[in-house]
Structure 1
């Protein structure tokens, strides 16, 4: 059988096409895709600076002065004069007790004084008459001595009568119950018609002075010991009691607009809680702070004159502690463990792990892995938002 010479070019052409296709495929497989560009991250360059070290501590609001209004004399309450929950000034009338009996006693005491004054006047005249008669021996020495003794006794009786009148006047005055201090008066503890002061000084109301107002702050003895150690070693410089500022966060997290001052720190540690109490004083013109309220006090503990601070969002917290992402001079990322010991506004004070001049990542963590090369750009801080401070880094 003879082969058809017309079929040979077709076979050769087919083989040639397949060969070229395979070569093209092999060429595409060996060509690698281009590498992606380095990720862009936002960084800051840390530098030491003087920073006020603050601590956020729990506190309770207390009135600066508290006075219990009590009945100082027995009687029936005739009238409550004040408005419950209102402001009063020292000396304002709060209650009126039936004064009839005390008025009668005062009138009797006044009459006793008049009688004693008359007796003393008579005794004085008698001594004056007897003195020249004694010189003329018209009266005996005994008679003159008796007249002088009667004069002294009349003077003593007058002093006693005057003291009794003063006591009666005080008792009459106690029938008008007044505010001992200026402040806000609470609810009335007695009503009209009640018998008060019978055998004991009956509580009638309470007045509390709210401007200025106190905040009692508690700090653990351990934290206080660490603070004193830092001050003694020179890591912190004391702000001084007069310079130490205290600010407050309300129960709802809002900042209290007034700045207070630290008055004193207790001299002993509470055995049950292991804490030390401190007292701060705040102006309270709008009566925003009320006794018994729970607050958070931000107390300036000292000044770190060479502190390294980083934005709180730059600190990564994990099971092994806190760390930051450092960008080296070759733009490679290195995870660096740090110790963030205290807050300063929206930043952490880093006491170990960083030094001035190093760059750390603030934004772009998800694009930066340890060992990767990045393109750093300066970080622009956002406008601060109102609200509570973040929890401390561990």
Structure 2
């Protein structure tokens, strides 16, 4: 019994090793025969391409400029007697801004009135004297006396006209002591205080008046874009008149200005240093939201063109600036397409070549997949912000 137990004890490790080798071989055989699970294709959101007429937009930088600007300066000399406006407030055309001490101008006006009255008194006497010599010119009065009477009357009339002009000048100077707003606008900080002496037509402005409603937006565009636009309109590819297009603004904080503007004028010259030209747009600004000097970005719809839209979030550009995007081929594998010509259309790029109706554009998840990789396309839509939104699934079993 002892010998049998010893033999069994010695054979046990050999049997265990044989079982282990048999299990390893089965495992290896299963892997070789493809029994291990494979990674499923990655799901990607796609948009089905369809050609249609789309708006062509241009995004241009610009600055706000006051519709009217006037530097207020005195036209007569004197001491500031009163400042009749609140700095930074709105004033109406004709409102008094400054009152200059007017006592000397009032005295000059009164003196001019007296001089006119004195000159006017001499006219009746000179006229009566001329009439008398006219009756006596052939019966005792000489021709010389008649001519002298005529000259006296003409001189008296001239003195009256001169006195009237002096009175008008004195009245103007007296009125100019009241410095008025030339138009509706907003004032700036006053450069003088009560008691300061100001002089006629001095170089330093007392304040600046700006009209902010409406307001100008000065936009800058390259001459290259101008030539492209003209060529597209001449060829008939672009429909619509850019001069009548609505212009929309995005303010410095990223918010959209609620009102649309219109093109006011275009500079018919290109800058020799920057190669750009200026476009001026006009916007209503009833709440003074836009202030002179503000930086804005304007979106102008210059026309419409037939093509395909590629969301900006679904595309990249290579070192040469060419647009590229990824599509799902007929075999559900990824392929990259490059487009040499593309135009801006809102939050999208518009292309006219290299795409056909029904092509599937990858709009989400394309950053982590390479060409030739198998994918599982999931149809989606793109919202106004350019984000992919998966289409809701429809249960065909339900009516």
Tell me the equivalent position of 1:389: none
Gap runs ≥5 in structure 2: 388-399
Deviations 1:92-141 (A, max 9, x none): 00111111111111111101111111111111122233333335x14222
CA distance in 2, matches of 1:383, 1:274: 33
Give the aligned partner of residue 117 of structure 1. Answer: 120
Task: Classify 1:164/1:385 alpha carbon distance in 2 versus 1 (closer, same or farther; 3 Å).
Answer: farther
Give the 3-state SS of the residue equivalent to 1:159 in structure 2: helix
With over 3 angstroms needed to count, the CA separation of the structure-2 counterparts of 1:162 and 1:226, relative to structure 1, is same
CA 1:332–1:149: 2 relative to 1, 3 Å: same
Q: Quote the offset at 1:224 in angstroms.
A: 2.1
Uncovered stretches (5+) of structure 1, i.e. residues with no partner: 387-394
SS in 1 for 2:216: strand
Query: Corresponding residue for 2:310?
Result: 310
Name the residue aligned to 2:298. 297
CA distance in 2 between partners of 1:365 and 1:179 (Å): 62
Q: CA deviation at 1:327?
A: 2.1
Separation (CA, whole Å) in 2 of partners of 1:145 and 1:19: 153
Deviation of the 1:86 alpha carbon: 0.5
> Which of 69, 74, 79 pairs up with 1:71?
74
Q: Distance in 2 between matches of 1:239 and 1:52?
A: 12
Q: Which moved more, 1:370-379 or 1:313-322?
A: 313-322
Report which stretch shifted further, 207-216 or 359-368: 359-368
- Secondary structure class of the residue paired with 2:226: helix
Shift of 1:192: 1.3
Structure 2 distance, partners of 1:18, 1:191, is: 108
Q: Name the CA distance, whole Å, in 1 between partners of 2:345 and 2:206.
A: 48
Name the CA distance, whole Å, in 1 between partners of 2:20 and 2:160.
144
Report the alpha carbon displacement of residue 38 of structure 1 after superposing the two structures with TM: 4.0
What is the aligned length?
Answer: 376
Deviations 1:137-194 (Å, cap 9, x if unpaired)? 1422222222122111111111111011000100111111111121001111221111
Deviations 1:318-343 (A, max 9, x none): 55754222223333332222346233
Structure 2 residue corresponding to 1:98, chosen from 79, 98, 101: 101
Which residue does the alignment assign to 2:44?
41
Write the distance in 1 (CA, Å) between the matches of 2:113 and 2:344.
72
2:286 corresponds to which residue?
285
Q: Distance in 2 between matches of 1:384 and 1:295?
A: 19
Task: Please tell me whether the aligned partners of residues 67 and 211 of structure 2 are also in contact (alpha carbons under 8 angstroms).
Answer: yes
Distance in structure 1 (CA, Å) of the matches to 2:386 and 2:333: 32
CA–CA separation in structure 2 for the residues paired with 1:53 and 1:338: 17
The aligned counterpart of 1:337 is 338
Note closer, same or farther for the CA distance 1:139–1:381 as it changes in structure 2 (3 Å cut).
same
Render the CA deviation track for 1:185-210: whole Å, top value 9, x for unaligned.
Answer: 11112211111115746521111111
| Paired position in structure 1 for 2:189 | 187
The reply to whether residue 378 of structure 1 matches residue 379 of structure 2 is: yes
Instruction: Output the CA distance in 2 between the equivalents of 1:357 and 1:337.
Output: 18
Secondary structure (helix, strand or coil) at the match of 1:193 reads coil
Distance 1:51 1:75 in 2: 65
In structure 2, the residue matched to 1:267 is 268
How has the CA–CA distance of structure 1 residues 221 and 24 changed in structure 2, closer, same or farther, with 3 Å as cutoff?
Answer: closer
The structure-2 alpha-carbon separation of the partners of 1:237 and 1:84, relative to structure 1 and needing over 3 Å to count, comes to: same
Shift of residue 29, structure 1, vs aligned partner: 4.7
Partners of 1:77 and 1:98 within 8 A in 2: yes
* Residue matched to 1:146: 148
1: CA distance between counterparts of 2:288 and 2:299?
20
SS of 1:158's partner is helix
Q: Paired residue for 2:395?
A: none
Name the SS for the 1:278 alignment partner: strand
TM-score (normalised: structure 2): 0.84
Q: Does the 8 A contact of 2:317 with 2:324 survive in 1?
A: yes
Match of 1:87 in 2: 90
